[in-house]
Amino acid sequence: MIAPRRFLPSIPSLLALEAVDRLGSATAAGQELSLTHSAVSRQLKVLEGQLGVTLLVREGKGLALTPAGASYARSVRDCLADLAQASLRLRASGPRDSLSLALPPSFGLYWMGPRLHAFLRAHPDLLVNQSTRSAPFDFAREKFDAAVHYGPEDWPGVHYLPLTRERVIPMAAPARLAGGPLTPEALRAEPLLHLDSRPGAWEDWFAHHGIEAGQLRGMLFDQFTTMAEAAAAGFGLALLPDYLAQAEEARGRLARAYPAPLALEDRYALVWPRHSTPKPALRLLIDWLRAEGAAEEGPGAPL
């Protein structure tokens, strides 16, 4: 149940508080909100009177929030951001049902993307909104229906639907491989590119092939796609997931420095919060992934 109206300040007064907190003065807040200085001050006085708490104090020529006001302003900013996002999603989707997904960038583009296209062809009345996220977050604060997670099942409070294991392939610019694919020993002598979210990936690859890698050094990247760009430019060899490696291979930008992919223990999974019932659009996606065989065999998670 929503609180009684007497506890719900008006949107203009909340906008005034948020702007003063961020900009430091009623004058600057008024310029941003297209209000006069006195109009902003009136909004703040109404808000303080409604709440019965002093929110701001004057400091020199500006305004400063009291500790209570600063805490309240943070909550107000979060609420206004949620309201703006909800309005944007509604405006974009119109009468159609929508689904908001958080996806790792490369996986979302090269693996999940084609499957979402097929899903939407099967359900043309739906919209799927996508944002980039590479690490677990709080579903209660970020308004996503589901996300894709890579790694062990260490995201608390979520259901898991396994999707696929990561399979990696050493890739290089074709000019580096004039003599064809390399042996693991020859590959060890090449400059190697590294991803900061996959520490030890090359060491594990060499260990699987019976080689003591030692201390590996090289350029460091935060995304598979930028690492692939560096490999295509000839800076070194990149250990790429097969969905990206195959796409780069088809474009002729990269070639396999070693022919066989290596399947890793960790996998990608679709996750969604346990504390809420999946909306109909999410149920459709989960059922579709299972029916199309996009999800790996396994117990999955209940609906």
Domain identity same for 154 and 275: yes
Residue 297 in domain: no
Among residues 84, 102, 90, 92, the alpha carbon closest in space to that of 282 is found at 102
Q: Are residues 170 and 255 in the same domain?
A: yes
**What is the per-residue pLDDT for 161?**
95
Same domain, 150 and 195: no
User: Does 184 score more than 90 pLDDT?
Assistant: yes
Q: Which structural domain range is residue 154 located in?
A: 97-164+266-291
* Helix/strand/coil for 94: coil
Q: Taking 60 as the threshold, does the pLDDT of residue 191 lie above it? A: yes
In a domain, 300, yes or no: no
Q: Which CATH number fits the domain that encloses residue 157?
A: 3.40.190.10
Residue 227 lies in a domain: yes
Give me the CATH number covering residue 42.
1.10.10.10
- 245, 285: one domain: no
**Residues 35, 19: Cα–Cα separation, whole Å:** 12
Domain count, the chain: 3
- Measuring CA to CA, which residue among 215, 245, 255 is closest to residue 202? 215
Query: Rounded to an integer, what distance in angstroms lies between the CA atom of residue 105 and that of residue 131?
Result: 8
Quote the CA–CA distance of 261 and 246 in Å, as a whole number: 11
pLDDT range class, residue 150, cuts 50, 70, 90:
very high
Q: Give the pair of three-digit tokens for residue 38.
A: 């006195």
Task: Tell me the CA distances in angstroms from 246 to 39, 179, 180, 240, one per residue in order.
Answer: 60, 20, 17, 9
| Statement to judge: residues 156 and 271 lie in one domain | yes
Q: Please check the confidence at residue 1 and state whether its pLDDT lies above 80.
A: no
Do 77 and 154 share a domain, yes or no? no
pLDDT of residue 23: 84
Domain check: are 277 and 252 in the same one? no
Question: Residues 108-119: pLDDT tens digits?
Answer: 999 999 999 999
User: Is the predicted pLDDT of residue 294 greater than 90, yes or no?
Assistant: no
Query: 129 and 81 in one domain?
Result: no
CA distances from 26 to 33, 50, 66, 76 (A): 10, 19, 15, 17
49 and 177 assigned to the same domain: no
* Mean per-residue pLDDT, 154-163: 95
**Banded pLDDT at 22 (limits 50, 70, 90):** confident
User: Do both 141 and 285 map to the same domain?
Assistant: yes
- The pLDDT-based confidence of 303 (bands split at 50, 70, 90) is very low
Q: Is 21 part of any domain?
A: yes
**Single-letter residue type at 298:** G
Determine if residue 148 is left, alpha or beta; phi over 0 gives left, psi from -120 to 50 gives alpha, anything else beta: beta
- Does the structure show a pLDDT above 50 at 128? yes
Asked if residue 299 has pLDDT above 50, the reply is no
Rounded to the nearest integer, the mean pLDDT of the chain is 87
**Gap between the Cα atoms of 53 and 171, Å rounded:** 62
Residue the block writes with tokens 């099942």: 153
Q: Is residue 296 part of a domain?
A: no
Q: Which residues, 6+ apart, have CB-to-CB distance to 246 below 8 Å? A: none
43-89: pLDDT as tens digits: 888 888 888 888 888 777 667 788 888 888 888 888 877 777 766 66
The helix (run of H) or strand (run of E) holding residue 49 is helix 37-51
- The pLDDT of residue 126 is above 60: yes
